Structure 1
């Protein structure tokens, strides 16, 4: 196994992209500090006493940030002062077109790295395939997923593709100042995605298109906090515009292979019994 001098700090290392990125980098022989509130190396965005130890000796950072933007620019400044020379930011598709109240942490991260003086790259993926394993898992297990998409599709992307792209950006040259929109290979409606998951699970799961008003009612009935319900509603409002339904070739260009197809993902994940 090849070894490398740089040490890469992966924040959110127990998350969907972070955990995969840690495995990918370590398989390449990279020195990785896997940091999170409950992972290998303790890091808490809201406890600055945990920052310096996480940053000690680090040359690059995978920056996955909290919703609260307040600590983000402070951390980026501390990181550059500690010697970090490269950031890769996990952001969201269409950040420049979203209402300012959405994804404030990600927006703060983009601004902070642009002004940091370090090398930086930003990745803006669409909805993850793996969101069907947590965000929408309870509804899928109940046999009904109801959302206000207006029938607009999404080029869902696999979290492993995001991690593999991040690994390239963290370890190779030629990506400074670049923003990459990451998508899967094709656009599916949520109804088509649910049908694929139902087939893989071998059971009936119904997709229902509902109004934004009814969606808000169901969120509140399910005990979702009002602030979160409003943000989810705005997310689907943006989806319904159709602005972010196109696919890109960024994954193919950066990795030299096709992104994971949703059908492949559904078959593989359904075999685990998660939706049964």
Structure 2
């Protein structure tokens, strides 16, 4: 973060949807460090929030001024646009003033959700994100890394992986300070790596041999099904690899620098610090 608590100009109650997720919990931590009142939006919170149960929305939105909107599993998932429209309508009715939307690069469906937010009547900022580096340590790729073999339908197409901490820093900046309304920040890391290169960097940082194996999208989808992954999530992941990871997002963007005035964190720094935490120890 580039701003101290003394610089923060917006301290209204902020609802963080997905408050236990990779970006949401980091947004919560940063807001609390700035003494901004926070309400968690998750099924385990009190009051609870559930995207599939609209009756849970009004209690969570009560007295809220700002919202960090992170949709699960992703804005490219079926039904996301309708859910985002219904939620932003409810937010307007509840008196919310500002929303910061976590979106995805190169996803036409996500950009439809962005349009919904822009037309909602709320002050808005879009944080359009590249692939999370933390998918290798806090999500479905952790177990393959621990097993020593990451199998994906991705090969030589580069991706400028973004650190989830940078996403949170940009989101908190937009939630707490003026000057970001109407902005679309495409946030990426400073350089693009193929998944082969990213896995190799993780292996070097962890001091272990970790192989990368490329498979077809069909074989990947079948493997996810055999592992018991929910059909919706498995279909979404297969869609991302088969359609979005085609080179359209290979070029790094300047969103972190535009929003924060600094460079984004490099993947090598993420790999080094994560390895030091011990999470990749077999």
Same fold (TM over 0.5): yes
CA contact (8 A) 2:130 2:160 kept: yes
Aligned to 1:73: 85
Residue 253 in structure 1 maps to residue 258 in structure 2: yes
The answer to whether the Cα contact below 8 Å between 2:11 and 2:176 also exists between their aligned partners in 1 is no
Superposed displacement of residue 229, structure 1: 3.6
d(CA) in 1 for partners of 2:46, 2:204: 37
- Out of 28, 42, 60, the position equivalent to 2:48 is 42
- Partners of 1:58 and 1:34 in 2: CA distance: 11
Counterpart in 1 of 2:217? 212
Structure 2 CA distance for partners of 1:229 and 1:50, relative to 1, 3 Å? closer
| RMSD between superposed Cα atoms in Å | 2.0
Give me the whole-angstrom Cα distance separating, in 2, the residues matched to 1:217 and 1:124.
30
TM-superposed CA distance for 1:226, in Å, is: 4.9
- Between the aligned partners of 2:241 and 2:119, the Cα distance in structure 1 is 31
**What's the counterpart of residue 206 of structure 2?**
201
Provide the residue aligned with 1:103 in structure 2: none
Change (3 A) 1:221 1:54: closer
Q: Counterparts of 1:166-205 in structure 2 under 5 Å?
A: 166-205=171-210
Equivalent pair of 2:155/2:196 in contact (CA under 8 Å)? no
Paired with 1:219 and 1:122, the residues of 2 have a C-alpha distance of 31
Mapped partners of 2:231, 2:52: distance in 1? 23
SS in structure 2 at match of 1:173? coil
Alignment partners' CA distance in 2, 1:249 and 1:107 = 18
Name whichever of 206-215 and 219-228 sits farther off: 219-228
2:169 alignment counterpart: 164
Match of 1:120 in 2: 124
Moved more, 226-235 or 30-39: 226-235
In structure 1, what is the Cα distance between the partners aligned to 2:113 and 2:201?
A: 35
Q: Does 1:32 align with 2:38?
A: yes
Counterpart among 99, 102, 105 of residue 90 in structure 1: 102
* Contact kept in structure 1, 2:146 and 2:280, CA below 8 Å: yes
Is 2:47–2:59's contact at 8 Å kept on the other side of the alignment? no
1 CA distance for matches of 2:47 and 2:173? 23
Call closer, same or farther: CA 1:168–1:227 in 2, change over 3 Å.
Answer: closer
Give how far 1:181 is off. 1.0
1:14 deviates by: 0.6
- Rounded to whole Å, the distance in 1 between the matches of 2:144 and 2:57 is 37
Moved over 4 A (4+): 1-5
Partner of 1:223: 228
Cα distance in 2, alignment partners of residues 22 and 54 from structure 1 = 15
Q: Deviations over 1:187-212 (max 9, x none)?
A: 11111111111122222111112233
Q: How far does residue 255 in structure 1 lie from its aligned partner after superposition? A: 1.2
Decide whether the 8 Å contact of 1:183 with 1:248 is kept in 2: yes
Q: Which moved more, 1:10-19 or 1:208-217?
A: 208-217
Q: CA deviation at 1:185?
A: 0.8
- CA distance in 1 between partners of 2:46 and 2:260 (Å): 28
Matches within 5 A, 1:143-162: 143-162=148-167
- Which residue of structure 2 lines up, in the alignment, with residue 17 of structure 1? 23
**In 2: Cα distance, 1:177 partner to 1:213 partner:** 39
CA drift at 1:75: 1.7
Question: Is the CA contact 1:151–1:209 (under 8 Å) kept in the aligned structure 2?
Answer: no
Q: In terms of mean alpha carbon deviation, does 51-60 or 17-26 score higher?
A: 51-60
Shift of 1:19: 0.5
Q: Which moves more between the two structures, 222-231 or 82-91? A: 222-231
